[in-house]
Chains A and B, each alone.
Chain A
Amino acid sequence: AQSVTQLDSQVPVFEEAPVELRCNYSSSVSVYLFWYVQYPNQGLQLLLKYLSGSTLVKGINGFEAEFNKSQTSFHLRKPSVHISDTAEYFCAVRRTGANNLFFGTGTRLTVIP
Protein backbone atom coordinates (compact mmCIF):
# COMPACT_ATOMS: atom_id res chain seq x y z
CA ALA A 1 0.00 0.00 0.00
CA GLN A 2 1.09 3.53 -0.44
CA SER A 3 0.01 6.93 0.78
CA VAL A 4 0.78 10.56 0.27
CA THR A 5 0.97 13.02 3.13
CA GLN A 6 0.73 16.75 2.79
CA LEU A 7 1.15 17.88 6.37
CA ASP A 8 0.22 21.51 5.81
CA SER A 9 -3.40 22.02 4.86
CA GLN A 10 -2.95 25.79 4.62
CA VAL A 11 0.14 27.92 4.00
CA PRO A 12 -0.13 31.71 4.09
CA VAL A 13 2.87 33.61 2.75
CA PHE A 14 3.58 37.22 1.85
CA GLU A 15 4.05 38.22 -1.75
CA GLU A 16 7.66 37.89 -3.01
CA ALA A 17 8.58 35.62 -0.09
CA PRO A 18 9.82 32.07 -0.66
CA VAL A 19 7.56 29.08 -0.04
CA GLU A 20 7.94 25.35 0.46
CA LEU A 21 5.01 22.94 0.32
CA ARG A 22 5.78 19.60 1.84
CA CYS A 23 4.97 16.17 0.48
CA ASN A 24 5.97 12.81 1.91
CA TYR A 25 5.06 9.44 0.54
CA SER A 26 5.24 5.87 1.66
CA SER A 27 5.96 3.11 -0.80
CA SER A 28 8.04 -0.03 -0.79
CA VAL A 29 8.77 0.20 -4.51
CA SER A 30 10.00 2.85 -6.90
CA VAL A 31 7.59 5.68 -7.57
CA TYR A 32 6.87 8.48 -9.95
CA LEU A 33 5.94 11.80 -8.38
CA PHE A 34 3.77 14.68 -9.51
CA TRP A 35 2.64 18.09 -8.33
CA TYR A 36 -0.63 19.52 -9.59
CA VAL A 37 -2.15 22.96 -9.00
CA GLN A 38 -5.84 23.74 -8.86
CA TYR A 39 -6.93 27.35 -9.25
CA PRO A 40 -10.39 28.34 -7.99
CA ASN A 41 -13.20 26.77 -10.00
CA GLN A 42 -10.81 24.95 -12.27
CA GLY A 43 -9.46 21.44 -12.74
CA LEU A 44 -5.98 20.24 -11.90
CA GLN A 45 -3.02 21.45 -13.93
CA LEU A 46 0.31 19.61 -13.99
CA LEU A 47 3.07 21.70 -12.42
CA LEU A 48 5.95 19.25 -12.66
CA LYS A 49 6.82 15.59 -12.43
CA TYR A 50 9.70 13.36 -11.43
CA LEU A 51 10.12 10.19 -13.47
CA SER A 52 13.86 9.54 -13.35
CA GLY A 53 17.22 11.27 -13.66
CA SER A 54 18.04 14.51 -11.86
CA THR A 55 16.36 14.75 -8.49
CA LEU A 56 15.74 18.48 -8.93
CA VAL A 57 12.81 19.02 -11.23
CA LYS A 58 11.77 22.37 -12.64
CA GLY A 59 8.18 23.06 -13.58
CA ILE A 60 5.97 25.82 -14.82
CA ASN A 61 5.44 29.20 -13.17
CA GLY A 62 8.87 29.15 -11.51
CA PHE A 63 8.19 26.15 -9.28
CA GLU A 64 10.66 23.36 -8.62
CA ALA A 65 10.70 20.22 -6.51
CA GLU A 66 13.38 17.92 -5.20
CA PHE A 67 13.03 14.17 -4.94
CA ASN A 68 14.68 12.82 -1.82
CA LYS A 69 14.56 9.05 -1.80
CA SER A 70 16.08 8.60 1.65
CA GLN A 71 13.52 10.92 3.22
CA THR A 72 10.71 9.80 0.88
CA SER A 73 9.89 13.41 0.17
CA PHE A 74 9.08 15.55 -2.84
CA HIS A 75 8.76 19.09 -1.53
CA LEU A 76 7.66 21.91 -3.83
CA ARG A 77 9.45 25.26 -3.71
CA LYS A 78 9.32 28.69 -5.23
CA PRO A 79 11.84 31.43 -4.36
CA SER A 80 9.39 34.33 -4.75
CA VAL A 81 5.62 33.92 -4.88
CA HIS A 82 3.07 36.10 -6.65
CA ILE A 83 -0.55 36.81 -5.84
CA SER A 84 -1.48 34.64 -8.82
CA ASP A 85 0.07 31.60 -7.11
CA THR A 86 -2.85 31.49 -4.67
CA ALA A 87 -4.35 28.05 -5.29
CA GLU A 88 -4.57 24.50 -3.99
CA TYR A 89 -1.55 22.28 -4.59
CA PHE A 90 -1.71 18.49 -4.76
CA CYS A 91 1.10 16.00 -4.55
CA ALA A 92 0.53 12.65 -6.26
CA VAL A 93 2.39 9.37 -6.47
CA ARG A 94 2.28 6.48 -8.86
CA ARG A 95 4.28 3.38 -8.11
CA THR A 96 5.96 1.44 -10.87
CA GLY A 97 3.71 -1.27 -12.21
CA ALA A 98 0.46 0.52 -11.38
CA ASN A 99 -2.01 2.72 -13.23
CA ASN A 100 -3.34 4.57 -10.23
CA LEU A 101 -2.33 7.99 -9.06
CA PHE A 102 -2.58 8.46 -5.29
CA PHE A 103 -3.18 12.04 -4.23
CA GLY A 104 -2.55 13.90 -1.01
CA THR A 105 -5.27 15.98 0.61
CA GLY A 106 -3.86 19.19 -0.80
CA THR A 107 -2.25 22.37 0.54
CA ARG A 108 -3.98 25.68 0.12
CA LEU A 109 -1.41 28.37 -0.61
CA THR A 110 -2.58 31.91 0.07
CA VAL A 111 -0.31 34.74 -1.03
CA ILE A 112 -0.84 37.89 1.00
CA PRO A 113 -0.22 41.29 -0.63
Chain B
Amino acid sequence: ETGVTQTPRHLVMGMTNKKSLKCEQHLGHNAMYWYKQSAKKPLELMFVYNFKEQTENNSVPSRFSPECPNSSHLFLHLHTLQPEDSALYLCASSPGTEGWTDTQYFGPGTRLTVL
Protein backbone atom coordinates (compact mmCIF):
# COMPACT_ATOMS: atom_id res chain seq x y z
CA GLU B 1 0.00 0.00 0.00
CA THR B 2 1.26 3.46 -0.88
CA GLY B 3 -0.58 5.49 1.73
CA VAL B 4 -2.56 7.29 -0.95
CA THR B 5 -6.11 6.06 -1.53
CA GLN B 6 -8.55 6.97 -4.27
CA THR B 7 -12.28 6.38 -4.57
CA PRO B 8 -14.04 5.21 -6.56
CA ARG B 9 -11.66 2.88 -8.40
CA HIS B 10 -13.98 2.76 -11.42
CA LEU B 11 -16.56 5.27 -12.60
CA VAL B 12 -18.85 5.29 -15.61
CA MET B 13 -20.76 8.49 -16.27
CA GLY B 14 -22.78 10.15 -18.96
CA MET B 15 -21.84 13.48 -20.46
CA THR B 16 -24.52 15.32 -18.48
CA ASN B 17 -23.68 13.81 -15.10
CA LYS B 18 -21.86 15.43 -12.21
CA LYS B 19 -19.51 13.27 -10.19
CA SER B 20 -16.51 13.66 -7.91
CA LEU B 21 -13.28 11.78 -7.46
CA LYS B 22 -11.73 11.60 -4.01
CA CYS B 23 -8.13 11.25 -2.93
CA GLU B 24 -6.85 10.84 0.59
CA GLN B 25 -3.25 10.60 1.76
CA HIS B 26 -2.12 9.20 5.11
CA LEU B 27 1.53 10.23 4.79
CA GLY B 28 1.47 13.63 6.45
CA HIS B 29 2.31 15.31 3.15
CA ASN B 30 1.58 18.92 2.28
CA ALA B 31 1.40 18.78 -1.51
CA MET B 32 -1.16 16.93 -3.63
CA TYR B 33 -1.51 16.44 -7.37
CA TRP B 34 -3.98 15.29 -10.01
CA TYR B 35 -2.68 13.57 -13.14
CA LYS B 36 -4.46 12.21 -16.20
CA GLN B 37 -3.15 9.01 -17.79
CA SER B 38 -4.40 8.28 -21.29
CA ALA B 39 -3.34 5.37 -23.47
CA LYS B 40 -0.11 5.93 -25.43
CA LYS B 41 0.47 9.36 -23.88
CA PRO B 42 2.71 10.56 -21.06
CA LEU B 43 1.09 11.33 -17.76
CA GLU B 44 -0.34 14.81 -17.83
CA LEU B 45 -0.15 16.97 -14.74
CA MET B 46 -3.50 18.69 -14.16
CA PHE B 47 -3.40 20.46 -10.79
CA VAL B 48 -1.01 20.98 -7.89
CA TYR B 49 -1.87 22.03 -4.35
CA ASN B 50 0.67 23.07 -1.75
CA PHE B 51 -0.56 23.59 1.79
CA LYS B 52 -4.16 23.66 0.45
CA GLU B 53 -3.39 26.41 -2.06
CA GLN B 54 -3.55 25.72 -5.78
CA THR B 55 -0.15 26.42 -7.26
CA GLU B 56 -0.54 24.88 -10.69
CA ASN B 57 -3.35 24.62 -13.21
CA ASN B 58 -1.99 23.08 -16.36
CA SER B 59 -4.52 24.61 -18.77
CA VAL B 60 -7.19 22.16 -17.70
CA PRO B 61 -10.74 22.71 -19.06
CA SER B 62 -13.19 24.18 -16.57
CA ARG B 63 -15.31 21.01 -16.65
CA PHE B 64 -12.68 19.72 -14.20
CA SER B 65 -12.79 21.52 -10.87
CA PRO B 66 -10.38 20.62 -8.06
CA GLU B 67 -10.96 21.15 -4.36
CA CYS B 68 -8.49 20.75 -1.49
CA PRO B 69 -10.23 21.29 1.86
CA ASN B 70 -7.16 20.21 3.86
CA SER B 71 -3.71 18.77 3.27
CA SER B 72 -4.99 15.19 3.48
CA HIS B 73 -7.87 15.36 1.01
CA LEU B 74 -8.15 16.28 -2.62
CA PHE B 75 -11.23 16.15 -4.82
CA LEU B 76 -11.79 16.43 -8.55
CA HIS B 77 -15.31 17.53 -9.43
CA LEU B 78 -16.48 16.52 -12.90
CA HIS B 79 -19.34 17.94 -14.95
CA THR B 80 -20.39 17.84 -18.60
CA LEU B 81 -17.42 15.70 -19.56
CA GLN B 82 -16.60 14.50 -23.06
CA PRO B 83 -15.80 10.94 -24.18
CA GLU B 84 -12.18 11.97 -24.73
CA ASP B 85 -11.94 12.63 -20.98
CA SER B 86 -12.07 8.88 -20.41
CA ALA B 87 -8.77 7.96 -18.77
CA LEU B 88 -7.10 6.85 -15.56
CA TYR B 89 -6.97 9.74 -13.09
CA LEU B 90 -4.11 9.49 -10.65
CA CYS B 91 -3.66 11.35 -7.42
CA ALA B 92 -0.24 11.84 -5.86
CA SER B 93 1.18 13.49 -2.77
CA SER B 94 4.61 14.65 -1.68
CA PRO B 95 6.11 16.18 1.45
CA GLY B 96 6.12 19.62 -0.14
CA THR B 97 8.98 20.68 2.10
CA GLU B 98 11.94 19.09 0.34
CA GLY B 99 12.24 21.57 -2.48
CA TRP B 100 13.27 20.19 -5.78
CA THR B 101 14.04 16.76 -4.35
CA ASP B 102 10.42 16.25 -3.29
CA THR B 103 9.28 12.73 -4.21
CA GLN B 104 5.72 12.03 -5.29
CA TYR B 105 3.76 8.99 -4.13
CA PHE B 106 0.80 7.84 -6.20
CA GLY B 107 -2.58 6.35 -5.48
CA PRO B 108 -4.09 3.46 -7.47
CA GLY B 109 -6.14 5.72 -9.70
CA THR B 110 -9.77 6.03 -10.77
CA ARG B 111 -10.62 4.52 -14.15
CA LEU B 112 -13.15 6.96 -15.66
CA THR B 113 -15.31 6.11 -18.65
CA VAL B 114 -17.48 8.84 -20.17
CA LEU B 115 -20.29 7.57 -22.36
Does B21 interact with chain A (Cβ within 8 Å)? no
Residues in B lying within 8 Å of A, measured CB to CB: 2, 4, 6, 40-43, 45, 48, 55-56, 90, 92, 100-109
Q: Say whether B100 contacts A94, CB under 8 Å.
A: yes
Question: In the complex the two chains form, what is the Cα distance from A101 to B102 in whole Å?
Answer: 10
Report yes or no: A44 in contact with B90, Cβ–Cβ below 8 A: yes
Contact between chains at B56 and A99 (CB < 8 Å): yes
Chain A interface residue count, Cβ-Cβ cutoff 8 angstroms: 25
Contact assessment for B100 and A98 in the assembled complex, using a CB-CB cutoff below 8 Å? yes
Using CB atoms and an 8 Å cutoff, list the residues of chain A in contact with chain B.
Answer: 4, 32, 34, 36, 41-46, 49, 51, 90, 94, 96-106
Q: Which residue of B42, B56, B101 has the most chain A CB atoms within 10 A of its CB atom?
A: B42
List the A side residues contacting B108 at CB < 8 Å.
41-43
- 14 A–B pairs (Cβ distance < 8 Å), ordered by A: A36-B106, A43-B2, A43-B6, A44-B106, A45-B2, A45-B106, A46-B104, A96-B100, A98-B100, A99-B56, A99-B102, A101-B43, A101-B45, A105-B42
In the complex, how many angstroms separate the beta carbon of B25 from the nearest chain A beta carbon? 12
- Minimum Cβ distance to chain A for residue B21 (Å): 13
